[in-house]
Amino acid sequence: YMKRGSNEVRFAKNKDVLKMDGVMEYMEDTIYVPLDFIYKVLDVNVVQSSDRTVYMDNYPKKFNYSWVSENRYIAHAMGGVDGNSYTNSRQAMISSYNRGLRVFEADMSMSSDNELILLHSYDRQGLSELALPLSWANAKPTKKEFLNEKILGKYDTLALDNVVEYMKDHKDMYLVVDLKTNDIKSVEQAYKKLVDTFKKVDATSLNRVIPQIYYEEMYKPVMNIYDFKSMIFTTYRLEELEVNRIVDFSYEHGIKIVAANKFKFSDDLTKKLVDRDISLYMYTYNDQNKVNSLRNSYVSGFYTDFLPKDVINRDADGKVVVKK
């Protein structure tokens, strides 16, 4: 409520007091107030796109990117192990966790019996590089058949429920979903299966799942399936990066991370992301010198197989401990 002639707003159920700066007008039974005032009172996100259209939504409550500040690195394909990448294996996951990484990107494909398994590709070259049966390029395996195989003859394959079990026991682990499908119908099927799998094993871990969307049309179908707490707009499937379009869409929808590779990196992109308070993560980097160079260009984080070279030490709260 407001008292006439005052710029203070008080709340009936608490002691908060907000002061409004700017002009308030009353015309034709409508009160007009500054946008920043609406932002403070209603706890909404007030955004203005490049065409000066104003949007409002409750993104401050919807999303939670608190994990970003303590996680410069995302373990690409669950991280590298013994010099090998793209394994998405149990050994890679455990090795990455023991090295102090807490955010894991997983390549997910559907098995023939419609279960989510951790596999980057069904193409013959990808299967060959992992020493998996080439016959899968023609006929997908069942989940059981997939789990009975070894990657490179020694690493354990994973299905999504195996990862959820690990997350259940490791409450500080986050999972970034790299879904190896593109059409909306397949995306919806996969995310329904993902949510169902988490709910069967450990529903609380769903709040640590981070979907990646590859184009704007993915946003609503994914969020309609579950109210995920953070999201990444990754650009590797876009043939051309229209900077204004991607930055505006992310900003208008509360997405706080855009991911890009070196081919889509530009000063224009970083400037617009910084202006909108959106973080840029880049992939995939294993050269510490290059990482250090890019960090000076406003890059917040990196997908990586093998970085950092040293173990990331963390305190009891999961914060990174920096040696003096």
Q: Which neighbouring-strand residues pair with 260?
A: 282
206: CATH = 3.20.20.190
Question: 309 vs 12, which has greater pLDDT?
Answer: 309
Instruction: Flag whether 315 is in a domain.
Output: no
Instruction: Flag whether 208 is in a domain.
Output: yes
Q: What is the pTM of this model?
A: 0.84
User: Are 218 and 101 contained in the same domain?
Assistant: yes
User: Are 73 and 171 contained in the same domain?
Assistant: yes
Q: Which pLDDT tens digit goes with each residue over 7-64?
A: 777 777 777 777 777 777 778 878 777 776 666 666 566 666 666 777 666 665 678 9
**Concatenated DSSP letters of 198-237:** HHHH-GGGGGGEEEEESSGGGHHHHHHH---S--EEE-TT
pLDDT(144) > 80: yes
Instruction: Flag whether 314 is in a domain.
Output: no
Which pLDDT score, from 0 to 100, does residue 2 have? 60
Q: Which pLDDT tens digit goes with each residue over 218-249?
A: 999 999 999 999 999 999 888 888 999 999 89
Burial 186-223 (b: 16+ CB within 10 A, else e): ebbebbebbbebbeebbeebbebbbbbbbeeebbeebb
Nearest to 264 by CA among 252, 272, 276: 272
Residue 31 has which token pair? 């009160």
User: Are 136 and 246 contained in the same domain?
Assistant: yes
pLDDT band at 213, cuts 50/70/90?
very high
Nearest to 212 by CA among 185, 175, 183: 175
User: Are 199 and 278 contained in the same domain?
Assistant: yes
- Spatial separation of the C-alpha atoms in residues 59 and 37, rounded to whole Å: 16
Report DSSP state, residue 64: -
Instruction: Flag whether 285 is in a domain.
Output: yes
- Whether the CB-CB separation of 123 and 130 falls below 8 Å is answered with no
Q: Which pLDDT tens digit goes with each residue over 249-302?
A: 998 888 999 999 999 999 999 999 998 889 999 999 999 999 999 987 889 999
* Of the listed ranges 18-27, 67-76, 80-89, 310-319, the one predicted with least confidence: 18-27
User: Are 90 and 191 contained in the same domain?
Assistant: yes
Question: 318 vs 194, which has greater pLDDT?
Answer: 194
Which pLDDT score, from 0 to 100, does residue 17 have? 77
User: Are 26 and 144 contained in the same domain?
Assistant: no
Instruction: Flag whether 142 is in a domain.
Output: yes
End position of a domain, from candidates 45, 62, 79 = 62
Computed over every residue of the chain, the mean pLDDT equals: 90
Q: Which domain holds residue 256?
A: 68-304
Which pLDDT score, from 0 to 100, does residue 302 have? 98
| Number of separate domains in the chain | 2
Q: Which neighbouring-strand residues pair with 178?
A: 107
End position of a domain, from candidates 18, 36, 62 = 62
- Spatial separation of the C-alpha atoms in residues 291 and 282, rounded to whole Å: 9
Find the mean pLDDT for residues 161-182: 96
Nearest to 304 by CA among 105, 72, 73, 108: 73
Instruction: Flag whether 310 is in a domain.
Output: no
- Spatial separation of the C-alpha atoms in residues 217 and 188, rounded to whole Å: 12
User: Are 101 and 210 contained in the same domain?
Assistant: yes
pLDDT(168) > 70: yes
Instruction: Flag whether 313 is in a domain.
Output: no
Q: Which neighbouring-strand residues pair with 18?
A: 9
- Spatial separation of the C-alpha atoms in residues 232 and 102, rounded to whole Å: 16
Which pLDDT score, from 0 to 100, does residue 278 have? 93
- Whether the CB-CB separation of 176 and 232 falls below 8 Å is answered with yes
pLDDT band at 324, cuts 50/70/90?
low
Q: Which helix (H) or strand (E) holds 94?
A: helix 90-98
- Spatial separation of the C-alpha atoms in residues 210 and 42, rounded to whole Å: 26
Give just the sign of the alpha carbon dihedral 107, 113, 115, 118.
Answer: negative
User: Are 187 and 123 contained in the same domain?
Assistant: yes
Which pLDDT score, from 0 to 100, does residue 251 have? 86
User: Are 58 and 187 contained in the same domain?
Assistant: no
Nearest to 216 by CA among 242, 178, 249: 249
User: Are 192 and 168 contained in the same domain?
Assistant: yes
User: Are 141 and 44 contained in the same domain?
Assistant: no
User: Are 49 and 86 contained in the same domain?
Assistant: no
pLDDT(191) > 80: yes
Q: Which pLDDT tens digit goes with each residue over 97-138?
A: 999 999 999 999 999 999 999 999 999 999 999 999 999 999
Instruction: Flag whether 317 is in a domain.
Output: no
